[in-house]
A and B are shown apart, each in its own frame.
Chain A
Amino acid sequence: MKRMTKWLAVLTAAILLLAVGCTAQPAQPAEPTEAPAVEQPTEAPAVEQPTEAPAEQPTEEPAPDASVSIIDMMGHEVTLEKPAERIVALTASDCEIVFALGAGDLLVGRGEWCDYPAEVLAIPSVESGGNTNIEQILALNPDVVVMSSMAQTEEQVKQLNDAGVAVVVNEAKDIAGVYTSIELLGKLLGKEEQAAAIIDGMKAQFAEIEANKLDGEQTIYFEVSPLQWGLWTAGGGTFMNEVAEMVGLKNCFADLEGWAQISEEQVLERNPDYIVTITMYYGQGPTPEEEIMSRPGWENVTAVQNAAILNLPNNELSRPIPRLADGAKILYDFVMEKAEALQPAA
């Protein structure tokens, strides 16, 4: 008996450790600051962290002429002798920006979740996020690696730098951040003009929407993760929230900071006029819109009554990318169309 008790003590310790492990896992999605990748299952491939992160120092002395020097989003200065010619981008948003800059041919590697535009799929894929594999990246012999701050360790950065690869951290949290990251990559790749053009284009699109925006009376709820996995939404301080404001809608969870897991009851109480879901549809069962419409208890939600539910499964609104402007436009058109359709009845 005595022996058993002794063992018990040891085992208790072991189990507690185990328990801590278990706790840590479920806790992860609760991180509010984390990007949809984590909280948002069906969309997981989409967003790796909209990144920002430490960057790394120049490994080489700046050469007089074509040298490029930038300050990345973690405030590190990165200097290259000449604009990067071989680049590895680990996040889906960075890949998109590189393509938008017309520099897709400079990409020699991409993170596994990058999926837009379709051409990106032809580029060799490397593991990213928590599984970032330095050897895989070095094998591609890049000049620069663009990554997010999440899941990036000092050791990884040092290993890359020691191998002569510069690391640029890029992680936009808001629309201003998106402009900065486009500028940053434009500079890095010697595509500053294109970068400026993209930013101007985005600003023009946003300005057009804002010029005719709604009065801010109506509310919108962004569903980042469906009920089945626990509801997650985009709160204040996210680019989705900014887009809502631009369109002239009030995000009904603006009081929460960042991405948050929320209570279903709260959605019913806050009674949004519009719902945007970014759940992907895989061709079987109810579509995400139908699924929301069929939820018990949701039949009194205004958005459900008016069928004012918009599905944006292609990350137009959930990634810090140039396409955000398109996403905002789609949302704006949808809201306008719904409002018009409802008007005559009233």
Chain B
Amino acid sequence: MNRIGEHFHGWIYAIFALLTLCVFFACVCLGSVGIPLRDTARVILDAIRGVPSDGALQLARSVIIPVRLPRVLCVALVGASLALAGAAMQGLLKNPLADGSTLGVSSGASLGAVMAIAFGITFPSLPFAGSMVMAILFALLSLLIILGLAYRLDCSLSTNTIILIGVIFSMFASSVMSIVITFASDHLKSITFWTMGSLQGASYHNAAVLAATLLICATVLLLHANELNAFAVGEENARQIGVNVRRVRLIVLITVSCLIGVCVSIGGTIGFVGLVTPHMVRMIVGPNHKRLLPASLFSGAVFLMLADLVARTLLNPRELPIGVVTSIIGAIVFVFIYYRSRRR
């Protein structure tokens, strides 16, 4: 596998951004209801200029502008956030299998959001903020618990220890969630369905929240790319070259928790994106986090948008849950990558 050298830095961004944009437009143009490319462009332009569309374009307009566009936007942002979080965790923990879903952080975040709904934790004027804040807090709490337990068992935080604890924690969080749901009053039984995740009905409001979170978290993580590189070699090494290990670790963990918490509270648990995307990207741009992080961000968006496209159109007019598609594609790609890398 040829790796692109450091000096390609500038246009790697350009290529990835362009690819992401192309996929984005393709996903907006394709969907359950077939709308000609020209009409799609027309209604988008009309919407931007704020003028009503012709009568014949009424359907196209009400499909594209309030339904399809915000959904594709949210999907892209969730994909980018999850992949970025995965890449950062894999670097920080020096662990190629780290990801929100394998470490149990997503389950923890779901638990937080479910508890917010079950116990009616809300902030006045911001109806969804309650579950979002709880999801973030629980994501962070789960990370701290998992890493705390792992440290007690073995100070070097070896791959297997963390993952096994993550799997166990994941199961634990799911059972607590079942208990909360069982004790919650009748109408809260509907929470069960929330945990499966759905980006149907995603709004521009959701997209704005996701975009803001991603912007802040991506900036923070990119500013710590050097430190992540040091961590990827080893924590001891990082300490020796003068990285404030404790501080950086805490910052990265909080950032990752925010990303995962917001994604889970909006889209539910979507597995494999954070695990597989950084792996694929690493094969192309190499392990340097300065390139890996932005590349993961764009690729995550592309991966999830394509998965969602499959979910939306494969069984048209039926729809598949997006998590099913990512898990199937993700598992196959992962096995492929893993075997290739072992053979080498």
Contacts and interface: CB of A to CB of B under 8 A. Distances in A.
Given A16-B331, A269-B33, A300-B59, A264 B323 contact: no
A346 B198 CA distance: 40
Interface string A1-37: 0001101111110111011101101110110100000
Contacts, number: 157
4 nearest CB pairs, A to B: A297-B66, A296-B66, A41-B190, A263-B32
B7 to A, nearest CB: 29
Contacts of B101: 22
A22 B327 contact: yes
Interface in A242-280: 253, 255-256, 260-266, 268-269, 271, 280
B335 A231 contact: no
A298 B194 CA distance: 23
A285 B196 CA distance: 23
B317 interface: yes
A15 B321 CA distance: 20
Nearest to B67: A297
B321 A7 contact: no
Interface residues of B, number: 55
Interface of B: 31-33, 58-59, 62-63, 65-68, 96-97, 101-102, 158-160, 163, 167, 170, 186-187, 189-190, 192-194, 196-198, 200-201, 203, 269, 271-272, 275, 312, 316-321, 323-324, 327-328, 330-331, 334-335, 338, 342
Contacts of A300: 58-59, 62
A256 B189 CA distance: 27
Contacts of B33: 263, 265-266, 268-269
A10 B320 CA distance: 30
A45 B186 contact: yes
A229 B187 CA distance: 14
Interface of A: 4-5, 7-12, 14-16, 18-20, 22-23, 25-27, 29-30, 32, 41-42, 44-45, 225, 227-231, 253, 255-256, 260-266, 268-269, 271, 280, 282, 295-300
Given A264-B201, A297-B65, 12 more contacts: A4-B159, A7-B160, A12-B334, A15-B102, A22-B269, A231-B319, A262-B319, A263-B317, A264-B200, A269-B32, A282-B187, A296-B203
Contacts of B334: 12, 15-16
Nearest to B204: A296
A8 B68 contact: no
A8 B158 CA distance: 11
Given A18-B167, A266-B317, A27 B324 contact: yes
B71 to A, nearest CB: 8
B93 to A, nearest CB: 13
Contacts of A265: 31-33, 63, 67-68
Where chain B touches its partner, the secondary structure class is helix
Contact of A26 (B189, B272, B323, B338): B323
Contacts of A8: 96-97, 159, 338
Contact of A44 (B96, B159, B189, B200): B189
A263 to B, nearest CB: 4
A266 B32 contact: yes
Given A261-B319, A262-B317, A263-B32, A19 B200 contact: no
Given A260-B318, A261-B319, A229 B59 contact: no
Given A14-B167, A15-B102, A30-B324, A269 B63 contact: yes
Contact of B67 (A5, A27, A255, A268): A268
